[in-house]
Structure 1
Amino acid sequence: MNWLTRVRNSLPFIAKRDTPDNLWVKCPSCNEMIFAKEYHENQKVCPRCDHHGRLSADERIAQILDEGYSVLPAPEVREDPLNFRDTKKYTDRLKQARAKNPRPDAFTVAQGQIEGHPAVVGVQDFGFMGGSMGMAVGTAFCVGAEHALRLGAPYVVVTAAGGARMQEGILSLMQMPKATVMTRRLKEAGLPYIVVLADPTTGGVTASYAMLGDIQIAEPGALIGFAGQRVIQDTIREKLPDGFQRAEYLKEHGMVDMVTHRHDLRATLAQIIDYLRPAEAA
C-alpha cells in the first residue's frame, strides 16, 4: 500500500451521492443542458434558444384548458383489423406504446373552458407511435367533433403526427375523409374549428383535418408538411429554400394564419373563440 492510498483511506471522504438521471434536459436545438424543473415549469420551451419541445397529451390539455376540465373516455375500436405483423406484431407495438403512455392511443379529447369560454379540445400525442393516425385516432377526432356539436362549443385540435398508421393499411387512410366530413358538420353548425399545428405535423394528418381549420395557428419552428423535404427535393430536382416547411415560412406564404408562442397560446385561443362564437352565444 503506497502513501497516497493510506492517506486516502484515512481521510473522512464523503460517500458519492446518487444523482437522478432526470435532473437535466438537453435542448435538441441549441444542445444546452437545462435544469429539468425549469424546463417543465417553462412549458418545455428552452429558456436559452426558445425551442418548443414536444408535449404529451395531458401536458397540452392542462396548458390550454382552465382547471376543472374533464377527459372524455377513449372510443373502442378494433385494434388489429388486418392482423398485421412486420418485425413485431401490431398488438405488441400497441402494448409497448401503452406501457410508456397514460392514454390508450394517440388522440385524447377533453372538455372544459379556455379563459372562461366553453370548448372541446382534441390533442394528438407524437409520443404515442409518432402520433400516427389509425382508426382509434380518426374515431376519437370524430367523437370530439360530435361532442362539440352537442355542446354548441368550439372544437380546438392540436396536431402532431408522422402521418397514417401503416399497420392499419387503407383503413388508416379512410380516417382522412371521415374526419373531413366532421369538420364540414362543424362549419354547417356555425361552430369554430381551430387547429394548432405543433411539431411535427406531416403526412395524411396534414392532408386532412390539420389544414381545414377556420383559423390555423402554428407553434414557432414547427415542421409542417405532407411529404418529406428530401422527397420533394428529389422529385422536383431543385434546392428548396431555407426554412421550407417550417411554421414561419408557411405563415409568410399564407398557409397558416399566425405563429403563436406557447406561453401566449391559451390567451390567443380565448380571444379567437370570443370573436368567432355564434352571436346567440355571445
Structure 2
Amino acid sequence: MLRDLFAKKRKYAQIPSEHIKQDVPEGIMTKCKKCKKIMYTKELNKNLKVCLNCGHHHQMTAKERIDSLVDKGTFVEYDKHMLSENPLSFPDYVEKLEKDRASTNLNEAIVTGEGKIDGMKMVIAVMDAHFRMGSMGSVVGEKITRAIEKAMELQVPFIIFTASGGARMQEGVLSLMQMAKTSSALKMFSDQGGLIISVMTHPTTGGVSASFASLGDYNFAEPGALIGFAGRRIIEQTIREDLPEDFQTAEFLLKHGQLDAVISRHDLKDKLINILDIHVTGGEIEW
C-alpha cells in the first residue's frame, strides 16, 4: 500500500513532457530585463522594443533600427558580402563567425548603406550587438570607413548607431588600428564640412567609445545606455574608490558634458529629421 501511495505522488509530481513544452510557442512573451515585467513580444516590438511598463530600451537589430528610421524602399546597403578572415589563426574564430552569421542573418557586426529620412538623403551605419557583441574587427572598421568616404562623395550627412563591446581580440592589432582609420576618415569628412551624427546605444564600450562613437558633431545616446572605455570593476580597483551608482550611463555622461542629449527611441526620428532639415535645407532648430 505504501508503495502504491508513493507511486501516486510521483505520478502527480511529474515534470511536463517535451511534447507539452513544445505546445507553448517560443518567443511569444518577453520579460523586461529591468523591471522584470512580462509582456507580449509583438506589443514590445510595436513599441520600438521600449518596455511598456518602465521604458527600458531593449536592444534592436540593425535591420529593426533601419526600418524604424529610413524611408521605406530607399535603403541601399553597402559592402554586404564583406567577410572577416582569421589573420592570427585564432582557435575557433572562424567557427564562431559562421555561427553568428547563421543566427543573425548578418555577415558582420555592422550594416552600412544610404537612404532617406523624411526625404533627405544620408549615409547610415548601424552596429548590431547580436553579432559577436558588436565587436570591432577589420571588416567593421573598413565598412565604416567606406561609408564615411561615400558620404563625402555624395556630400550628404553621416549617421552612425554604435553598439559594441569594443575591439575584437581575435584580430589583435588589426582590430585596434580601426580606431585610427575610422577617426581619420571622420576628420577628413568633417574638414570638408560634412555633418556627423553619432547615437550611442547599449552598450558602447572599449575602442568604439574611444574613437568614432564620440566624434560626432552631435553626440546622442539612448536612455540607460552603458557608455565607457574600461570596465567599472577595473577602474574601481585602479583608483581604489567606489564609483557612483549611475557611472558610465548615458545620463551620467550627459550630466558631465560628454553628450549633447539623451533621447528616447520614440523621439529620435523627429530629432534627426529636425537636425537634417537644419543642415540640408536650412530649417530652424526645434528642441
TM normalised by structure 2 equals: 0.88
Aligned to 1:229: 232
Aligned to 1:137: 140
1:211-264 deviations in whole A, cap 9, x for unaligned? 010000100000000001111111111111121110111101100000000011
User: In the TM superposition, what are the counterparts of 1:8-27 in structure 2 within 5 Å?
Assistant: 18-27=23-32
1:34-83 deviations in whole A, cap 9, x for unaligned? 11110111111000000000011111111121111222233635511111
Aligned to 1:11: none
Aligned to 2:150: 147
64, 89, 93: which one aligns with 1:83: 89
Deviation at 1:265? 0.9
User: Retained in 1: the 8 A contact 2:69–2:269?
Assistant: yes
User: Retained in 2: the 8 A contact 1:80–1:168?
Assistant: yes
- Deviating 4+ runs (over 6 angstroms): none
Q: Which amino acid aligns with 1:131?
A: G
Q: Which amino acid aligns with 2:225?
A: A
1:239 equivalent to 2:239? Answer no
User: Retained in 1: the 8 A contact 2:83–2:108?
Assistant: no
1:72 equivalent to 2:78? Answer yes
Structure 2 SS opposite 1:216: strand
Aligned to 2:51: 46
1:133-191 deviations in whole A, cap 9, x for unaligned? 00010001011111111111100000000000000000000000000011101101111
Q: Which amino acid aligns with 2:129?
A: F
Aligned to 1:258: 261
> Quick one: distance in 2 between partners of 1:45 and 1:127?
17
User: In the TM superposition, what are the counterparts of 1:1-282 in structure 2 within 5 Å?
Assistant: 18-68=23-73, 69-74=75-80, 76=82, 79-85=85-91, 89-277=92-280
TM normalised by structure 1 equals: 0.90
User: Retained in 2: the 8 A contact 1:190–1:278?
Assistant: no
User: Retained in 2: the 8 A contact 1:160–1:199?
Assistant: yes
Number of residue pairs aligned between Structure 1 and Structure 2 = 264
Higher relative contact order (CA 8 A, sep 6+): 1
Gaps of 5+ in 1: 1-15
User: Retained in 2: the 8 A contact 1:120–1:148?
Assistant: yes
Aligned to 1:10: none
> Quick one: distance in 2 between partners of 1:184 and 1:142?
11
Q: Which amino acid aligns with 1:207?
A: A
User: Retained in 1: the 8 A contact 2:109–2:131?
Assistant: yes
> What is the Cα-based RMSD across aligned positions, in Å?
1.8
> Quick one: distance in 1 between partners of 2:272 and 2:101?
30
> Quick one: distance in 1 between partners of 2:38 and 2:250?
25
User: Retained in 1: the 8 A contact 2:127–2:164?
Assistant: yes
User: Retained in 2: the 8 A contact 1:192–1:214?
Assistant: yes
